[in-house]
Amino acid sequence: MRLYNSLSREKDTFVFPQDRPVTLYVCGVTPYDTTHIGHARTFLIFDVLVRYLRWQGAEVRYCQNVTDVDDPLFARAERDGERWQDLAERQTAQLLEDYRGMNILAPTYFPRASAEIGTMIPIIARLIELGHAYVVAGNVYFSVRTDPEFGKMARMGYDELLLTANQRGNNPNDPRKRDPLDFVLWQTGNPGDPTWESPWGLGRPGWHIECSAMATRYLGDQIDIHGGGADLLFPHHPCEIAQTEPVTGKRPFVQIWMHAGLVWLDGEKMSKSLGNLVFARDALREHSADTLRWYLLSQHYREDFIYDRAEVARAGDAAQLLRTALEVTGGSGLPLHFEVPRSEFAAAMDNDLNTPTALAVLHMMAGNMVSAAAEGRDVTACQAILRDLAVALGFTLNA
């Protein structure tokens, strides 16, 4: 299987480990405004990856976190006048409900950052001991100058790295920093923010250290595949690399980095900050889970996706054709055989999870089966193959 690695910028060969499960970590949500279609598409893509790896016979251990210690969550809770814990709990429950509605498999591990503080503190302490981090007035920062390859994945110069980081939460004007690009490992936070005990005083972790701690705790020092949205190409994932590898002493931290394209609506990136959201629960009121799955997989996962409500209906026609092909009853005539489509399906999926081509194989099979059944041919054997491939992609095959 060849998967595009955002670090090498090539399709790297992924060989299934023989003596242990495949390990997959995917960065999850900050639990407010869940679950919009941008979230849903990303998690749907990795749902398909997990299903396909298992279809190929691999055992998979999949960890997806909940970032319930984060500035935007606290700000939303304060705006709405509720406890941040209550907001996080309600929104996480909504996420899981949406997963069930979209037939997205639950991860093997689903840790919440608020319950993993004790895992983060020793990592931060070790980074200080190694000279990669420094303490100022109860805040701990990672020194990017100690990592000559910092930001390699992003392929940017320093000025562009700083500009991008600033757009995604970095404070370059913090007078306690040695370098404007240094990132927070532990912070005292704002008045009213939740705090935890630490060797540096009351505070809370930075965003990046949360994922390093949860990934290594649940999956080990080195991970096969690490995924998320394309907006995590910088700074989040490079920060994970920078802070993890010195502590574990093992490189690479991740064998293959996978990033899903962003979802756009009406010409703008769908995002919580812009408020231009289509929620999964609303889409599910209008369309079946199979319709949404077909639609969201109809473009390659690395491409940005323009959500078009009118196009979803066309995906519904394709999903209906699948069901029709599996329900038709042929006759006792010449049996219809499909040997090549199974290999074509696997070839597409092995080529960087090429779901559009895989869907085309299913669509071709379904159309031929409906036509053959109408001619009185026996399609029973083909129905078993089609069902197997459709289930491998996560279709429920329900109306």
pLDDT in tens, 301-341: 999 999 988 899 899 999 999 999 999 998 888 888 877 78
Token look-up 């960087």 returns: 352
* Rounded average pLDDT over 151-175: 96
* Cα–Cα distance for residue pair 137/175, rounded to 1 Å: 11
Q: What kind and span of H or E run contains 269?
A: strand 268-269
- Residue spans of the domains in the chain: they are 19-265, 314-392
| Residue 35 pLDDT exceeds 80 | yes
Mean pLDDT, all residues of the chain: 95
* 314-392 fold: Four Helix Bundle (Hemerythrin (Met), subunit A) (1.20.120)
Burial of 89 (0-12, 13-18, 19+ CB in 10 A): middle
Helix/strand/coil (H, E, C) string of 219-236?
A: HCCCEEEEEEEHHHCCCH
* Cα–Cα distance for residue pair 34/47, rounded to 1 Å: 17
* Rounded average pLDDT over 77-93: 96
Which residue, 377, 376, 347, is CA-closest to 360? 347
Residue 268 has a pLDDT of 73
| Residue 220 pLDDT exceeds 80 | yes
Coil vs helix vs strand at 351: strand
Confidence of residue 272 (pLDDT cuts 50, 70, 90): low
* Rounded average pLDDT over 34-43: 93
Which residue, 73, 60, 51, is CA-closest to 272? 73
Confidence of residue 233 (pLDDT cuts 50, 70, 90): very high
* Rounded average pLDDT over 235-250: 98
* Rounded average pLDDT over 262-290: 85
Torsion of CA 316, 318, 322, 323, to 10 degrees: 30
We find that the CATH architecture of domain 19-265 is 3-Layer(aba) Sandwich (3.40)
| Residue 177 pLDDT exceeds 70 | yes
Token look-up 């029973």 returns: 380
Residue 310 has a pLDDT of 84
| Residue 55 pLDDT exceeds 90 | yes
Residue 190 has a pLDDT of 79
**Residue 212 and residue 243 in contact, taking contact as beta carbons nearer than 8 Å:** yes
* Rounded average pLDDT over 227-250: 97
Residue 335 has a pLDDT of 86
The whole model's pTM is what? 0.95
